[in-house]
Amino acid sequence: MRLDCRGRRCPLPILDLARHIGDVVVGETVTVEADDPAAGPDIRAWCRMRGHEHAGESRAADGTPAYTVRRLH
């Protein structure tokens, strides 16, 4: 699953992530495409606080940072 959080200021990207992590089964991933500079640190912190895995960072086709999170429970 991919979430388009372009233009959404923190903490909205982690709020979107929290709303949708339950939409995938355990072991699957949600990728958050977010351009707020605080999104990266906040998604990593959210994974630590919520017990999910921060599975990596990449770039969307337009260059927007994309953060992949694996649902662990």
Of 2, 4, 6, 15, the residue at the interface with another protein (CB under 8 A) is 15
Cβ neighbours around 65 below 10 Å, total: 17
Do 64 and 6 form a contact (C-beta atoms < 8 A)? yes
Question: With CB under 8 A as the contact rule, which of the stretches 21-29, 33-41, 62-70 interacts with another protein?
Answer: 33-41
Nearest distance from C-beta of residue 69 to another protein, angstroms:
14
For another protein, the binding residues (CB under 8 A) are 9-12, 14-15, 18, 36-38, 41-42, 44-46, 48-49
